[in-house]
Amino acid sequence: MQGFAVGCLLYGNLMSENNQNIGENLKQLPLGDWHRSLGARMVPFAGYEMPVQFEGVMAEHLWTRTEAGLFDVSHMGQLNLSGESAAEALEAIVPGNISALKPGKVRYTLLLAKDGGILDDLMVTNTGRNLYLVVNGATKYDDIAYMREQLPDSVTVDHAEDQPLLALQGPKAAQALNKLGIEPREPGWPVPSDLYFMEAGPFIWNGVPVGITRAGYTGEDGFEISIGAEHVEAFANALVALEEVRPIGLGARDSLRLEAGLPLYGHDMTPDVLPVEANLNFALSKARREEGNFAGADRVLAQYPDKAETKRVGLFVDGRQPAREGADIVSEDGTVIGKITSGGFSPTLQRPIAMAYVPMELSETGTAITVQQRKKQITCTVADMPFVPHNYHRKPKI
């Protein structure tokens, strides 16, 4: 039951306000029945019925850290932007240098409101033909509406609504993909295992087109794979038939991303938060900072690089009791000065960890922080993130 207990703690970070009870207007994943056949415990998330765990969150988490875990992330939004100057148009609402993105390259960026608040975080790929975007499941319809409102009529936003998306994550992910005989769809593209972190390409598996990106949300090496609904079950079966691959649920996805120090939208980022406050300075490309022509630029750049009043930080939590999302951070006199935004038990480190917003003057590593939770005070210490080192397959620097 230890794994299930960890899952219950971490699953609190996953729930959004508009989640329904099972069976109440929930959308079904293309692999929904497949998950159930493997014994998945299904839960509501982002309007879908999704697997939170198979054999237990602790076991699934540790398996992904050492082998390869298969996640169903089909609730995410997959968008295709096309049309004249689509990259330049998108730059009006994101601070990333999209127009400089070469074919086959991927960039993490932020969708910004007119006042600079974060509406979502997303991945943008230049496919060589269009821009392929992956946005969060709970915000995808709002994102699409905002993009269609803000982008010129010359740019088309297409939603691949029924296209499944899988994530194969872990140190043996490339080894597993190699066994499936996946080949480049176009001359000049590498095989998937030759991609580096934040690279993508078009591929063929048994005559079926698949789009593969070397990226993920666990801190481990891995791939995200977009494939047609009529082929996804056969592809998933081929993967889990390999000894190094097991299906993994939402619970472990949350604990893995927390260890990796990766923020979850709607919890660690909201429209009330600006990029510098969210500790996402790297998403503000140098060229775009110099141009200052993206949504909310004046307000965003006024905080760059360290002039925000608050900042997202990592916390080591003393003892064994996790600090839960929503718990207050208090000063010596009991004044509320911050909030826990994600928290749970780290299976890798065997201790509670958390992310929180604290005053900038308390954001230095090693600073003592007091959390007030259910009339009990918990001592924490500001920690460097990621809590567990990233294991991305990066291109060597020349």
| Ordered DSSP codes for 184-242 | ESSTTPPPGGGPPTTBEEEEEETTEEEEEES--SSSSSEEEEEE-TTTHHHHHHHHHTS
Q: How many CB atoms lie within 10 A of CB 394?
A: 12
pLDDT at 5: 38
Q: For the segment 158-193, what is each residue's pLDDT rounded down to a tens digit?
A: 999 989 999 999 999 999 999 999 999 988 889 999
pLDDT at 292: 98
Residues 269, 310, 390, 387, CA torsion sign: negative
Q: Concatenated DSSP letters for 236-285?
A: HHHHHTSTTEEE--HHHHHHHHHHTT---BTTTB-TT--TTTTT-GGGS-
Q: For the segment 287-328, what is each residue's pLDDT rounded down to a tens digit?
A: 999 999 999 999 999 999 999 999 999 999 999 999 999 999
Average pLDDT of the chain is: 94
Residues 382, 269: Cα–Cα separation, whole Å: 19
CATH 3.30.1360.120 domain position(s) in the chain: 2-74+162-259
pLDDT at 186: 87
The pTM of the full predicted model, rounded to 2 decimals, is 0.95
Through-space distance between the first and last CA atoms of the chain, rounded to whole angstroms: 49
Q: For the segment 351-380, what is each residue's pLDDT rounded down to a tens digit?
A: 999 999 999 999 999 999 999 999 899 999
CATH 3.30.70.1400 domain position(s) in the chain: 75-160+274-306
- CATH 1.10.10.10 for domain 2-74+162-259, yes or no, is no
The domain at 75-160+274-306 falls in which architecture? Answer: 2-Layer Sandwich (3.30)
The shares of helix, strand and coil residues in the chain, as percent rounded to the nearest 5, are 20, 30, 45
Note the Cα 5 to chain centre separation in Å.
23
360, with CB counted inside 10 A (0-12, 13-18, 19+), is middle
Categorize the per-residue pLDDT at 8 as very low, low, confident or very high, splitting at 50, 70 and 90: very low
pLDDT at 24: 65
